[in-house]
Amino acid sequence: MKDITYDVRVYKTEVYKGTRVTTHIVRWKTAGKPWKRPFRNAAQADTFRGELQAAARKGEAFSLTTGEPVSWRRAEKTEMSWYDFAVAYVDMKWKRASAGYRRDIARALTAATPAMLESNRGKPSDRKVRKALTRWVFNTRDRDSCPSEYSPVIEWLKRSTLPVSALEEAATVRSVLDTATSKLTGKPAAASTARRNRAILFNALEYAVELKVLAANPIRGLKWQAPKTSHEVNRDCVVNPDQARQLLAAVKAQKRSGPRLVAFFAVLYFAGLRPEEAVGLRKANVILPALEWNKETGEWEEPPGAWGELRFRKASPDVGKEWTDEGTRREERQLKHRAEGESRTVPCPPELVRILRAHLTTFPPAKDGLLFTGVNGGDLPAVTYRRAWDRARAAVLTKAEYASPLGKRIYDLRHACLSTWLNAGVPAPQVAYWAGHSVDVLLKIYTKCIVGQDEAAKRRISDALGKADDLPETSACIRHDQPPEADDDR
């Protein structure tokens, strides 16, 4: 094994006297690497130190991962294959995890598993291995319903994965981490994917320590540089009000699904909702101002300048039916960053009020009150509104704009809304509440989208410095509005 050494030095116990507690610290080194273990009383420290010295005198191997004699680790450790452990971890997490997190766990463990294969002898195709792992092995709900054609793949995986104890070798755990944070081509995965997979692996190996499959989490001692990510919204992706209205008109012009999608996109742009929040809106969530009777026209009319509200406490992210308990594509759950049952209220400007009232009149809500549905009823498919938005961008934007990030994602409509609120001078705490963010996160994400502040700052600096003409003239000053006198010494 590469992670053991016989080069061990045990030092004298150190005593640290704090204001309340005295700590006895045992220090030792393995192959030059320092270790320490604190104890509350001298007897415990002396016993532990004596055991270290006894093991060193016997010539026992010490682990470079834990710093302790290998024999201690073997006495406490429970052997388990990577396959069995990963399945146990998935089952432990399944009940309390959201559908989206279940999917993320399956993808992370699937990405890591190739590095934990003992050999490739008799290995099925990579595609079948990934399909079997992601869809059935790492899916608690559907594992027993795996199709017969994948049974040989699963049996091969059960026989071919290394024991979890193999992760005690630094080279193995590094290989697992590198594989889990890379694409199938071997190139680095997206920064967000790499960070998420690393976090899931770390959590999984913490569970291995809990099960006594590992003595310590080997990722803790591994030097790994997290890829840099930017949480700031790119200003180039934010559409302005004129572009937003043109895009909404282009959506409305599309046959069949277009007219019923206008209000959906308008809710994102004018009220700043997330797509999964807008999809789950029901009639009861929409509070519109009462219409006023116009005596001259003899009709009910929208009161000028009247605002409405959206009050809601649920979101319906699209995660795939294989990950939800009910077998539906969307999982209805609490709002993001909110506790179960906590609600949020968002204002509806007059323009959105008119759009929503027209939508309710033309497309009555479903029996359960759902505001936005597919053409044939049921939940609004994500693919439907994504295609409609892409067609609208192609119809409105120039070729250069279409190829740019400008409004490329549906989520960019929410970015545009929040940027508009901030640029209008709405206090950040108010915008944060409407958006469902903390103030710190809001300003961190939208710092580049708050325009005009740089010019205001320059004006303040200019006022503080004063005018150049007001500065006193000295012999050291050169007036550039007058030509310099001739000087033979120059």
Q: Is residue 201 located within the same domain as residue 149?
A: yes
Residue 231 counted as domain residue: no
- pLDDT recorded at residue 490: 42
CA distances (Å), origin 5, targets 1, 61, 66, 332: 9, 6, 11, 53
Q: Is residue 67 located within the same domain as residue 86?
A: no
Q: Which residue has the higher pLDDT, 73 or 36?
A: 36
Residue 419 counted as domain residue: yes
E strand or H helix at 93: helix 82-94
Residue 238 has phi, psi (to 5 degrees) of -90, 120
Q: Which residue has the higher pLDDT, 41 or 176?
A: 176
Q: Is residue 186 located within the same domain as residue 168?
A: yes
Task: For the beta carbon of residue 254, count every other beta carbon within 10 angstroms.
Answer: 16
* Residue 134, C-beta contacts closer than 8 angstroms, at least 6 positions apart: 106, 107, 110
Q: Is residue 25 located within the same domain as residue 58?
A: yes
Contact 129, 123 (CB under 8 A): yes
Mark which of 194, 210, 226 sits at the end of a domain: 210
Residue 488 counted as domain residue: no
Structure tokens at 452: 């005009």
Q: Is residue 151 located within the same domain as residue 244?
A: no
pLDDT at 468 over 70: no
- pLDDT recorded at residue 409: 92
* Residue 4, C-beta contacts closer than 8 angstroms, at least 6 positions apart: 61, 62, 63, 64, 70
Domain, as residue range, for 270: 236-435
Q: Is residue 292 located within the same domain as residue 380?
A: yes
- pLDDT recorded at residue 10: 95
Residues 248-265 pLDDT 10s:
999 999 988 999 999 999
pLDDT at 76 over 70: no
Q: Which residue has the higher pLDDT, 475 or 298?
A: 298
DSSP structural state of residue 1: -
CA distances (Å), origin 241, targets 261, 309, 322, 421, 430: 18, 20, 39, 12, 21
Residues 132-186 pLDDT 10s:
999 999 999 999 999 999 999 999 999 999 999 889 888 899 999 999 999 888 8
- pLDDT recorded at residue 204: 96
Q: Check which CATH number belongs to the domain holding 431 and give it.
A: 1.10.443.10
Number of domains in the chain: 3
Residue 230 counted as domain residue: no
- pLDDT recorded at residue 489: 46
The gap from C-alpha 310 to its chain's centroid, in whole angstroms, comes to 26
Dist. CA 91–CA 322, nearest whole Å? 15
Residue 455 counted as domain residue: no
Residues 339-366 pLDDT 10s:
777 789 999 999 999 999 999 999 999 8
Structure tokens at 225: 């540089």
Contact 283, 365 (CB under 8 A): yes
Residues 195-226 pLDDT 10s:
999 999 999 999 998 998 888 898 987 877 76
The CA-to-CA distance between both ends of the chain, in Å, stands at 78
Residue with tokens 């006023």, as numbered in its chain: 292
Q: Is residue 270 located within the same domain as residue 399?
A: yes
Mark which of 210, 244, 264 sits at the end of a domain: 210
Mark which of 406, 435, 464 sits at the end of a domain: 435
- pLDDT recorded at residue 330: 83
Residue 478 counted as domain residue: no
The C-alpha angle 442, 443, 445, rounded to 5 degrees, equals: 65
Residue 143 has phi, psi (to 5 degrees) of -60, -40
The C-alpha angle 286, 379, 241, rounded to 5 degrees, equals: 55
Contact 55, 132 (CB under 8 A): no
Q: Is residue 291 located within the same domain as residue 417?
A: yes
Q: Is residue 296 located within the same domain as residue 424?
A: yes
Q: Is residue 132 located within the same domain as residue 118?
A: yes
Contact 175, 8 (CB under 8 A): no
Residue 459 counted as domain residue: no
CA distances (Å), origin 8, targets 57, 222, 413, 474: 10, 21, 61, 74
Q: Is residue 18 located within the same domain as residue 118?
A: no
Residue 460 counted as domain residue: no
Dist. CA 479–CA 184, nearest whole Å? 67
Dist. CA 101–CA 200, nearest whole Å? 10
Q: Is residue 323 located within the same domain as residue 194?
A: no
Residues 116-127 pLDDT 10s:
998 888 899 999
Q: Which of 283-297, 380-394, 396-410 has the lowest mean pLDDT?
A: 283-297
- pLDDT recorded at residue 455: 61
- Residue 189's pLDDT band (boundaries 50, 70, 90)? confident
Contact 170, 222 (CB under 8 A): yes
